[in-house]
Amino acid sequence: MGKVLIIGAGGVGTVVAHKVAQNPDVFTEIMIASRTKSKCDAVVKAIGNPNIRTARVDADNVDELVALFNSFKPEIVINVALPYQDLTIMEACLKSGVNYLDTANYEPKDVAHFEYSWQWAYKKRFEDAGLTAILGCGFDPGVSGIYTAYAAKHHFDEIQYLDIVDCNAGNHHKAFATNFNPEINIREITQNGRYYENGEWITTRPLEIHKALTYPNIGPRDSYLLYHEELESLVKNFPTIKRARFWMTFGQEYLTHLRVIQNIGMARIDEVEYNGMKIVPLQFLKAVLPNPQDLGENYEGETSIGCRIRGLKDGKEHTYYIYNNCSHQAAYKETGMQGVSYTTGVPAMIGAMMFLKGLWKKPGVWNVEEFDPDPFMEQLNKQGLPWHEIMNGELEV
């Protein structure tokens, strides 16, 4: 049915490649390209399908991307490199007539700040070119928005309160490690918190607000209010929302390490002089921390990510909790990667599948909740991320 190019051969890219290869009826030709070609070759070897092609590309360089796109001629690019590359890849898509999907919104390298404005600004150009761009199609952002769209379509006339809850109750037996790219992860967590209430954004100090929330099959876990990018699009696309928040669990040991990292200046993203060289401390830290891709083998436990929603149906208040639990070990057995990469990579593959099947094809730049959630939800159950619903339970939030 279609040719796909995956950019990025990290934890998420590896999962995307496995899942794309598992669906040969939809993805008829596959290429994986990244900055380091040997990583792409290793992924292909692990999958055991010699028909998957590989290439080296610097995704910061539009001309290199255009040359690659023009030689392979993919219908869609799945961008699972880093958020820094979103705009160059979108530019190259416009130049070569290729559709686009990613899992994280653009961030400039020199400021830890992410918002959709930079990518939304491409809407008219994608529309005029007749190309589709699907933004934020991982788990959160991604499935969190699709769950919300599904709830709005089937269970509510008016969604009023939305809490996205993200728990990782896994244990990788390392003193400190991040579950995806450490640079991106630490930039996200050390920012101020932010949530939406009654038409305004309220800022908190980093990790200032927290409470214990109970996760299915896991139990209570301390959960911290963070700003997360899907809040921006969800309050825009569901204007009945009065309050929208995002919560993520962290253990005490993790937070202690994070505090020390910040206090000693290792979370800095500006350049410092070291031995006549310029280095960015956070990038150096990434080089010495465990590689998130190597956590899988000894990772136990599971993740639980979902949406807790309160709103009105037929004039009556109603609550709804929809979630997925994903076992790190099961993810590792299937793809060689842990659950956080798995829960991101599977939805990215499904989003590309929705596009190639013509179900999510509309020129412009869209967040996932702007498409029909039903065929995506059906695939989540088939592709390894089944979901569960609790009607009118206690939401705790």
Binding residues vs ligand NDP (CB under 6 A): 8-13, 34-36, 39, 57-60, 80-83, 85, 103-104, 138-142, 180-181, 184, 292-293, 340-341, 344
Looking up tokens 């709830």, which residue turns up? 151
| Nearer to ligand NDP among residue 327 and residue 344 (C-beta) | 344
To ligand NDP, the closest distance from the beta carbon of 25 in angstroms equals 26
| Nearer to ligand NDP among residue 324 and residue 341 (C-beta) | 341
Provide the token pair at 110.
């020199």
Distance CA 328, CA 337 (A): 8
| Nearer to ligand NDP among residue 303 and residue 327 (C-beta) | 303
To ligand NDP, the closest distance from the beta carbon of 128 in angstroms equals 27
> Closest-CB residue for ligand NDP?
10
Distance CA 320, CA 327 (A): 23
To ligand NDP, the closest distance from the beta carbon of 68 in angstroms equals 10
| Nearer to ligand NDP among residue 10 and residue 373 (C-beta) | 10
Which residues have a Cβ under 8 Å from the Cβ of 233 and sit 6 or more positions away?
116, 135, 136, 141, 145, 367, 369
Provide the token pair at 97.
């007539």
Q: Are 41 and 32 in contact (CB under 8 A)?
A: no
To ligand NDP, the closest distance from the beta carbon of 23 in angstroms equals 20
Nearest to 148 by CA among 249, 248, 230, 247: 230
| Nearer to ligand NDP among residue 34 and residue 223 (C-beta) | 34
To ligand NDP, the closest distance from the beta carbon of 307 in angstroms equals 14
| Nearer to ligand NDP among residue 140 and residue 302 (C-beta) | 140
Looking up tokens 């790219």, which residue turns up? 181
Residue 278 burial (10 A CB sphere; 0-12, 13-18, 19+) = exposed
To ligand NDP, the closest distance from the beta carbon of 341 in angstroms equals 6
- Half-sphere exposure for 250 (CA within 13 Å, toward CB): 25
Looking up tokens 């039903």, which residue turns up? 374
